[in-house]
Structure 1
Amino acid sequence: MSPHEGHRKSLVTRQSYPRVPFSLLVNNRTYVPGQHIQVILTGDINFKGFFVQARSMEGDSGVPLGRFINPHVGSKVMSCSLSPTAANAWSHMDKYHKSDTTATWVAPPSNEGNIFFRATVVKEKSIYWENIFSDIVHYTGPIYQPTEPPELEPKNVPCTGGPRLAASITTSMMRVIVALVLIILMF
């Protein structure tokens, strides 16, 4: 997730920034389908721009997961073409300096496994940081969600009385049927 035109990757050295001066925080480290999670981007230094998406830990396909709502003033939600989900990215709306910003992420309706949030943060036009990661957010919802009730298989229940009992039941049933037929014919 690199900034578009006009941005050149800075030669930020470890001496000028011994660590990444930004954090991507979440208010919950577990999720279930449809759950709302607060995502906070904060910095030790001010920043002008940012871009955040949720991604899967199970082989990041590049497709953003879930959707963002309630972006903080000065930020907006966006839809990336890689995913059919609307509002699957969160970004800045202006170039004013910010020290932090928040939005709410809504988990997808199905099991996407464990996820993480990934950000790119722009301090100035040519100074930016890529691959700023949140803690892992673990999926804790149902593993199996049946769409139809399971089919019940008939079970063979052996007759415990043996062949004589089966024969006597059959004979008794025949006698009842014959009696019913005779009653019907009499009327």
Structure 2
Amino acid sequence: MSSDPAADEAPVDPVLRRRGVLLLAGIAAVVLAIDLATKIAAVATLEGRDPVTVIDGFFYLTLLRNPGAAWSMATGYTWVLTIVAVVVVGVIIRIARKLASVGWAIGLGLVLGGALGNLIDRFFRSPGPMRGHVVDMLAVFSPDGSVFPVFNIADSGIVCGGILLVLMALRGVEIDGRVGG
């Protein structure tokens, strides 16, 4: 942050903001589309099947309907996870008006796409709105999720985006593209 309060409040260049918002939206749309496609494919092809070994001892495809978070934590609180996801989506949309950093746009786009992908499951999958189970299908190390949680593309977007956002913050890069001291 600069020592001049007026500079801290300076509006973001509209061209940079537009580019940042378009990048964020594009990445979110790609993550969401891939997530939805893989969930549809997983339900259609893995339902009722034993796990499919892709790389023995490392990578498997298996269908899991997760009512909670990783390792099915917070199973009884699916509605809370839904509200958290709605808040995350709202916050990302709200702060996008200040967005002029490519790194922040990519990170926020990954998180937004992932949050929307899992939110769609929470609203539209069984057993019902705000209680829907998220479809997971990617397993590493063990096909049953006992070593590492079974996950989906949305989860990957959230984790990768979160890591990038932390790195941007640690580097001192502001959402508007300024580098703080």
Q: Give the structure-2-normalised TM-score.
A: 0.23
RCO higher in 1 or 2 (8 Å CA, sep ≥ 6)? 2
Q: Give the structure-1-normalised TM-score.
A: 0.22
* Larger Rg, first or second structure (1 or 2): 1
